[in-house]
Structure 1
Amino acid sequence: MTSEPVPGTHNNIGGGIFHGAVIQAGSVGSLTVTAEPAPVPPLGAVAAPSSVFIGRDAELADLLETIRPDGGAVRVGLVNGPAGVGKSELLLHAAHIALERGWFPGGALSIDLQGYTDGLPPLAPGEALGRLLHRLGLPADAIPGHVEDRAAAYRACLEDRSVLVLLDNAGDSSQVRPLLPSGGCAALVTSRHLLPALDDVRRIPLGLLPPGPAGDLLLAAASPDARTEAEMRTARFHARRIAEQCEGLPLALRVAAARIRGETPERFAELAEWMDDERKRLVELDDGERTVTAAYRASYHRLGDDQRLLFCLLGMHPGPRVGVHAAAALADLPMRDVRRLLQDLRNLHLIAGDGPGHYRLHDLLHVYARTRAHEEIAEDVVQAATDRLIDYYLYTADRADRAVAPGRYRLPHSVARPPHMTPDLDDRQAALAWFTEEMPHLTAVLRAAATTAEPARCWLLADALRGYFFHVKAWDSWLDTLDVALGVATAAGEQKVQGVLHNSMGIALIELDRSSDAARHYREAEELFRSAGDAHGVATSVENHAWVHQYAGDHVEALACHQRALDVYEELGARRNVAIVLRGMALAEIELGRSGTAISYLTQALDAFRELGLDLDATMALNGLGEACARAGDTDEARRFHLLALRQSRACGSVFEEARARDGLGTLSVPVSPGRAAHHWRRALLHYEALRSPAAERVRGRLDALPHHVS
């Protein structure tokens, strides 16, 4: 600051950086303010990174590209990700490489902002600036008191220098913004939060390590005491196993490695066995100085009450992947509110996005959330949330089943607590996709329902899954759910329900080529329905039993059973069941050489299925007509029906009926084009094998019988 000099006076003020007015008694002729530069910060101000650094090459390259001297205008890299994912470690590696390359001759400044430090409050921006100014060499009495003045002094100290600033563990944008340098400096920031209010920042997300690098990291950090190649193979095997249990979380991997560092492969196996129990997993991930639980606790305590409650309740979901509708049911909140809370949790990296409308807690966080729920939420609140979740899945599965298998007989029921909203599942393909996506959760919820005060939901959910399991031919999974539900229904003395479940078990068993077991369940079902006075149930059991005879080659007895069931269904006016029986009778007639009668039955069945809008049943009838026409020698009609079935099987999503259509088309193609026959049979074989169908062996034999140059 200068002014016109007053003769005879002159004043110099120096020795530091001044903020605000400088007052001096007497006349001022000229005033010169000078600032003595603070000492250059030492180059060794950055802690040494770990010697084991695996699986982060791409992210490291991105960070270095961001801060290199000729890297462009934006020289601030923000590494964000969940607790324990290795953000600080990545930061240290990038900083050391940059310093070794001479990119920052002014050195480095590093500070932990304590945004997520267990037991410590986040550093206020003013306090953080004060610490940095002190490290820059400013004496305590020269550090301004006001945060804005400290920020100005900080910028002045860094002016004309090339310094790398490391801001670790930031809690929010307000902590970071005053600390970002300019000019020839650059900054690296880590946070569990996305810090959306920061502009001109290159964000580098850091996720969990894939299985391969995760196992390599654990093995390298643990340095097993393996003296032979066989021992090393054992250690490597169990390291991979532990890495899977840690789900690729670097903190968990390093803690686990510390537990067994330098130990024999037997200790690796022992830790892997302990960690198999998810209830003990977080306890085991403690090396005396670091714990995964402590890392999670810091994030958890930053949550508001609503966020905390939802996070805990997500732990009660049976799987780590949860849809927004299921979350709304758990929390008993409208969709707009639960979406906002889920986004909050995502921004804090407590959950991750996993496709449209879905989120995921990785396994360790899922265990932590469930632990917090049981320890901090009243038992009746947890139970009420669990009941709402079961009701959500039952209600939604019932809706989806009506799209997959419209018109089928169902156990009557109503849901006590209908959800606020469900996915749009009126379309068959959408319903099938929902079942496929949610099946692990549906089966887990079914088991949970068996132990509640309303066990009927267990068998009702099993009944709601029938259409999907039959459609995709997932016989083993279907039997597992039916076995649980049957046990619950038997304990409750529900005869009619038991009959329905026995019939379903028979259907699955006969498809697995276990006809004698299927027959036992059908007989049990018939007796139960007869005792309950349920004529429809008796007819269904008899109709199902017809297929035991059909597969055994006794087509006459099969027809007799079909006819008995048909008489009852016609009397009850059950049109869909009548059409299904006619379709079954047609297949028996084909085997008895009466193709004309079979075609008549199948034509009647096809007309009924089309009138009722039952696409899958109609596809089955079309394939039956193809087989009947082939037996009658009408290959053109047979091919037409199989092609119609092929087209419709794709439309309704039936892999089995596509295989069946291709099977028939392959047979029809052999005389005219063995190459085309091989094409169809190969495609059929792939589907049959995937479905574990006994038909696979027959098709494989046909392919083997083709000339070698064709097959």
Structure 2
Amino acid sequence: ACGFLPLAIRIAASRLAARRTWTVSVLAAKLADERRRLDELQAGDLAVKATFELGYGQLEPPQARAFRLLGLADGPDISLAAAAAVLDLPPEDTEDLLESLVDTSLLESAAPGRYRFHDLVRLYARSCAERDEEPEREREEAMSRLLDFYLATAAGAYAIERPGDRTVAHLERSRYEGEAFDDASAATDWLHAEAEPLLACVQQSLRPATLRRAVDVLLAAIDLAESGAGSRRYETTARAARDAAAALGDPHAEVRARITLAQVLSQSGRFEDAEREARCADVLNETALDPWTSSTAPNQLGIIAICRSLYADAEGYLLRAIRAFRSDENRPGEASAVCNLSRTLASMGRSERAIELAQQGVTIYDELGMSVRLANARYASGTVLMQAGRLPDALEQLERALHIFTESRQRLWEGTTHFRIAQVHLAARRPAEAAQHTEQALAIGCIGGDWMRANALTILGKALADLGQPDRARACWLDALRIYEATGSSEAGEVRVLLSPAAA
């Protein structure tokens, strides 16, 4: 609560020393209320707030306005471009103002082009905004511009990564321009650098006037969930968006929030929860009639059904998704559903058609120049080729996918592809290589969370058994079994067989 500010720590210590019946927890409880924190941090002639007031009182009007408005944003820091959106000023003028605030010690320069408040200074800036920034509409418009900046920039990054994807066409329109990128690498850099401030802005914007734009930022920033880097914060924000949309009675925003939540839940292996969200979105969309959800919901339900080995259900969902994507003229979306359908058919023993469909997906993504999505298609192709027994071809596709995922910093997909490569090596009777890739998958993490971790442990156990290490193999299988039993996964039966004396 003191934010390591020496004066604040000194005041807190002084208050404790003067009140022998107080414990540290008593003072901590008083300081937990942000609205009262600055008032609590005073003792005698010492007051944190008075120190801040002295500096604030010496600011010129443009500096004071910048100080007040920038304090409204919840993120840990803010970029120069985002700050320019908050202040509605050119970047050059914004930089001059921010650097002048750094000179007065009311703002910190976190890195070149990035700025942050000390936690207590931010609280003071907000109190000044509530007191001095009139009318209230000025504060609301500042945060609306920041949300627009994140929506426009995230949409631009999404469009560079996924040329031709119709998702961007279905997003709410932003009224403030975002940053532009020369290439996909720059777009990816921006998204990861802005993850915390962006998601904090979304969570701050879950009110009637900005709810739909806030939810659409989540759609445009879906790579944060898929990369693993910001998946936990993304999930928390998606849950908050779902709850806000439901409470406000906005089915359009709710179906989108539920699908984004279903996506991140699927990626962490919580398939029952993911299915519940996706099914609810699918039903609600009968009223909302959102074209994005009309295609994305059945595609997501198909993915979940694949992971739960419900292949007939998956086929039905994915055929519906393909029709919806085609109706929306969304070729990348169609390619995604086609690749998912290929995996479904391969698991149903229809290998020839599965391989054809996977190649269709590869061709579409390749023609559109979609690098990460092309990697997804090659991953699907490698998986179905492996199931068809074409191991050299499968390995080629998976290794090409791995290279793209690694270059694009898609960590969870990188780990998942290592797992598939391990399966190929095990099938080709190369247990040492299988063990190596499985260990990399376990170290990195995989799409599918604990469920995929259990899958990887099962494969690692098989590789170790083939290498003459039965004790280590058994330990892997026991760990896998615990995960499967905890999640109610059907794969538990296979592991019990591996652990049985007959298998030994």
What TM-score comes out, normalization by structure 1 length? 0.60
What is residue 185 of structure 2 aligned with on the other side?
Answer: 429
Distance 2:243 2:182 in 1: 32
Distance 1:636 1:489, change over 3 A: same
Measured after TM superposition, the shift of residue 583 of structure 1 is 0.5
Q: Give the aligned residue type for 1:305.
A: P
Q: Distance in 1 between matches of 2:57 and 2:289?
A: 59
Structure 2 CA distance, aligned partners of 1:508 and 1:363?
A: 30
Match of residue 66, structure 2, among 289, 298, 310: 310
Matches within 5 A, 1:350-361: 350-361=106-117
1:179-223, Cα deviation, whole Å (9 max, x unpaired): xxxxxxxxxxxxxxxxxxxxxxxxxxxxxxxxxxxxxxxxxxxxx
Q: Structure 1 residue 695 and structure 2 residue 436: aligned?
A: no
The offset of 1:340, in angstroms, is 1.1
Q: 1:457 is matched by which residue type in structure 2?
A: R
| Distance in 1, Cα, partners of 2:206 & 2:378 | 40
2:413–2:447 CA contact under 8 A, matched in 1: no
* More divergent stretch after superposition (396-405 vs 306-315): 396-405
1:332 Cα offset (Å)? 1.9
Asked if structure 2 preserves the Cα contact closer than 8 Å seen for 1:507 and 1:518, the reply is yes
Q: Does 1:414 align with 2:170?
A: no
Q: Deviations over 1:508-554 (max 9, x none)?
A: 33344444443343333333333455677434433333334323323
Given the superposition, is the C-alpha separation of residues 540 and 387 from structure 1 closer, same or farther in structure 2, using an over 3 Å criterion? Answer: closer
The equivalent residue for 1:253 is 9
Query: Offset of 1:365 from its aligned partner?
Result: 1.2
Paired residues of 2:267 and 2:449 also in contact (CA < 8 A): no
Of 446-455 and 586-595, more deviation after overlay is shown by 446-455
Judge conservation of contact 1:435–1:468 (CA < 8 Å) in 2.
yes
SS in structure 1 of the partner of residue 190 of structure 2: helix
User: What residue is the counterpart of 1:279 in the other structure?
Assistant: 35
What SS does the corresponding residue of 1:596 show, helix, strand or coil? helix
- Deviation (angstroms), 1:358: 0.5
Corresponding residue for residue 393 of structure 1: 150
For structure 1, the residue ranges without an aligned partner over 5 or more in a row are 1-244
CA RMSD of aligned residues (A): 2.9
Residue 195 of structure 2 is aligned to residue 439 of structure 1 = yes
- Give the deviation of 1:287 after TM superposition: 1.6
Alignment of 1:672-711 (within 5 A): 673-688=430-445, 692-705=449-462, 706=464, 707-708=468-469
Partner of 1:116: none
What does 1:104-503 correspond to in 2, within 5 Å? 245-261=1-17, 267-378=23-134, 379-406=136-163, 407-410=165-168, 411-416=170-175, 418-419=176-177, 422-451=178-207, 453-472=209-228, 476-490=232-246, 494-503=250-259
Question: Which of residues 375, 397, 404 is equivalent to 1:648?
Answer: 404
Offset of residue 309 of structure 1: 1.8
Cα deviation for residue 454 of structure 1 reads: 4.2
Per the alignment, residue 596 of structure 1 pairs with 352
Contact 1:623 1:660 in 2 (8 A): no
Task: Output the amino acid matched with 2:187.
Answer: A
Report the 3-state secondary structure (helix = DSSP H, G, I; strand = E; otherwise coil) of the residue aligned with 1:413.
Answer: coil
The gaps in structure 2 that reach 5 residues or longer are 474-504
CA distance 1:284–1:494, change in 2 (3 Å): closer
Change (3 A) 1:535 1:627: same
Which SS does the other structure have where 2:73 is aligned?
coil
Name the CA distance, whole Å, in 2 between partners of 1:452 and 1:656: 34
In 1: Cα distance, 2:381 partner to 2:98 partner: 52
User: Equivalent of 1:521, from 264, 277, 284?
Assistant: 277
CA contact (8 A) 1:473 1:691 kept: no
Amino acid at match of 1:677: A
- How high is the sequence identity, in percent, across the aligned residues? 26
> Contact 1:432/1:468 (CA < 8 Å) preserved in 2?
no
Secondary structure of 1:354's partner?
strand
Change (3 A) 1:367 1:691: farther
Query: Which residue in the other structure is 1:618 paired with?
Result: 374
AA matched with 1:630: M
1:581 deviation in Å?
1.8
CA displacement 1:248-280 (0-9 Å, x = unmatched): 221211121111127669521111121122222
Cα distance per residue 1:56-101 (max 9 Å; x no partner): xxxxxxxxxxxxxxxxxxxxxxxxxxxxxxxxxxxxxxxxxxxxxx
Provide, for residues 134-161 of structure 1, a one-character-per-residue CA deviation record: whole Å limited to 9, x for no partner: xxxxxxxxxxxxxxxxxxxxxxxxxxxx
Separation in structure 2 between the aligned mates of residue 387 and residue 561 of structure 1, nearest angstrom = 37
Letter in 2 for 1:699: A
Say which structure, 1 or 2, has more relative contact order (CA 8 Å, 6+ apart): 2
Question: C-alpha displacement at 1:604, in angstroms?
Answer: 0.9
Q: Residue 414 and residue 614 in structure 1: after superposition, are their counterparts in 2 closer, same or farther (change >3 A)?
A: same
How far apart are 1:704 and its partner, in Å?
4.2
**Which amino acid counterpart does residue 336 of structure 2 have in structure 1?**
I
> Retained in 2: the 8 A contact 1:663–1:699?
yes
User: Could you list the per-position Cα deviations for residues 608-629 of structure 1 after superposition, in whole angstroms to 9, with x for gaps in the alignment?
Assistant: 0111222222111212222222
Give yes or no for contact 1:602–1:621 (8 Å, CA) kept in 2.
Answer: yes
CA distance in 1, matches of 2:13, 2:447: 39
The structure that is helix-richer by fraction is 2
Cα distance in 1 for partners of 2:219, 2:292 equals 16
Amino acid at match of 2:194: E
Contact preservation (8 Å) 1:429, 1:653: no
Tell me the secondary structure at the aligned position of residue 359 of structure 1.
strand
1:330 Cα deviation after fit: 2.0
Q: Which has the larger radius of gyration?
A: 1
Q: Residues of 2 paired with 1:664 and 1:361: CA distance?
A: 45
Q: Note closer, same or farther for the CA distance 1:271–1:566 as it changes in structure 2 (3 Å cut).
A: same
**CA contact 1:579–1:605 (8 Å) conserved in 2:** yes
Residue type of the partner of 2:143? T
